A and B are shown apart, each in its own frame.
Chain A
C-alpha cells in the first residue's frame, strides 16, 4: 500500500479494493426448488419473487512473463440488461487459516460499457474461457446468495446454443467488505447452518482443485 493508505488509493482511483468473504456449495437440480423456497424465507424481500439473473461471463487472461502467474479478469454482462457490463478482478483465496470461517480473497469491481471486450483485447488480454450463468440471487443484509446454473457455450459467439455443465446448481454466499472482520465470518457461518443439510456451504480449496486439474 502506498503512503496515503487504502483510503487514499480509493479516492484517487475511484475503484475500491475490497475483500470478498465467500463460501461455496452446490445443490442438485432436483432439490433446487426446495432451496429457493428456503432462501426466500430466510432472506430479505420474502414477499417478492426472487430476482433472476442471466449472465454471460468471459474470462480474460494476460500472461506477462512466463514465470509470473497470469492475470485473470472476469467480464460479466447481463443478457437481460444488455447494456450493463461489469469487470472483476479476483485474487487467490488462501485456505490455510483455520480460524477464518470463510474463504477470503481480494476483489476489485468496476462497471464497464460494452466496449470493454475491445479494450481488453487491445491491451493484450486473450480470452481464456466463457460460460453462461443463469439463476437467482438473494440478499440478506450485506450477504449475497446466488443459486446459478452454469452452461457451456457450444458455438463461440452465440449465447443461445448452450449446454448445461452439470446436474447441479452452484450456490455461493458472499460478503464484500473493505477489511477482514470476524463478525462477517460468524454471520455467514450461521446462515450456512440454516441451509444444511440441503446444501453444504463450505470453504473449497481452490489450490487443490487447480492442482488436480493440472495433474491430469
Chain B
C-alpha cells in the first residue's frame, strides 16, 4: 500500500504527509491485530468460511454491520472478499517469477546479494554521515561553545597516573623485572658513579643514564 502510494504519487508527495499516512496505517493495522489476537476471538485460521446463500438483494443488516460498505452478499462480492488464493493474473506473475528465480545460478545470485548489501550499506553510511553533520550544525548554532573535552580529560589523567603515551618501549622491559637480583644493583651503581662527579647537570645525566641503561634487560 505504502509502496503503491510512493510509486504513483511521488510528484505530489512530501515527507510529512507520507509520515502521517504511514503512521495512520500502522496504527490501524496494530489495532486490527490486537482485536484479532484477543482471547475471545477464535483462531480464524482454523475456521473455514463457506458461502451458504447468495442473494442479489439488498441486505439491510449486512449494510448496518459493514457501515454501508457491503450492500449485499451476491456473486460479485464473494470472489473478492472470500478470496484465499491470489487473483489469476497475480498468480501467473508469481509463478513466472518463481520459475525465473529457480533458474538463476547460485554463484551469480550470491554475487548479486553481496552487491545489494554493499550498496545498501554505502547508502546507510552516506545517510548517517549526513545526519551527523546536520545534527552537529544545529547543535553548534543552538548550544554553547564546547570548552572541554572528556576524552582529553581521560587522556591527561591517564598520563599523569599511568604514563599513557609517555612510556615508550619500556613496557616490554618492565615485564622482565624478574629475578635478576644481584648483578643489577651493581650494574646500576657503576653507571651512577661514573656520572655523579659532575655537579649541576648530574641530575639530568643521571636520568639519562638510568633511562638508557635498562638495568633489567636480559643480556
Contacts and interface: CB of A to CB of B under 8 A. Distances in A.
Interface of A: 24-28, 30-31, 34-35, 58-59, 61, 63, 66, 114, 117-118, 121-122, 124, 126-131, 150, 152, 156-159, 165-168, 170, 197-200, 204, 206, 209-210, 213
Classify the secondary structure of B's interface with A.
helix
6 contacts: A58-B207, A114-B203, A130-B207, A131-B166, A156-B207, A210-B162
Given A168-B152, A168-B156, A204-B154, A159 B170 contact: no
Contact of A159 (B153, B185, B204, B210): B204
A162 B194 CA distance: 27
A5 B160 CA distance: 32
Nearest to A128: B163
B177 A131 contact: no
Given A63-B177, A130-B207, A156-B207, A24 B163 contact: no
B138 interface: no
Contact of A166 (B150, B156, B178, B216): B156
Contacts of A213: 158, 162, 164
B157 interface: yes
A197 B208 contact: no
Given A126-B210, A157-B208, A170-B160, A28 B147 contact: yes
A108 to B, nearest CB: 16
B215 A126 contact: yes
A197 B155 CA distance: 20
Interface residues of B, number: 43
Given A31-B145, A198-B147, 4 more contacts: A150-B160, A199-B148, A200-B148, A210-B161
Given A114-B203, A131-B166, A28 B192 contact: no
A130 B203 CA distance: 13
B159 interface: yes
B167 interface: yes
Contacts of B189: 122
B210 A121 contact: yes
Contacts of A24: 153, 156-157
A126 to B, nearest CB: 7
A27 B158 contact: no
B170 to A, nearest CB: 7
A206 B155 CA distance: 11
A117 B157 contact: no
A25 B159 CA distance: 13
A165 to B, nearest CB: 6
A63 B61 CA distance: 93
A168 B146 CA distance: 12
Contact of B155 (A63, A157, A166, A210): A166
B74 interface: no
Nearest to B179: A66
Contacts of A127: 207, 210-211
Nearest to B150: A200
A198 B153 contact: no
B157 A166 contact: no
Contacts of A152: 165-166
Contacts of B160: 131, 150, 170
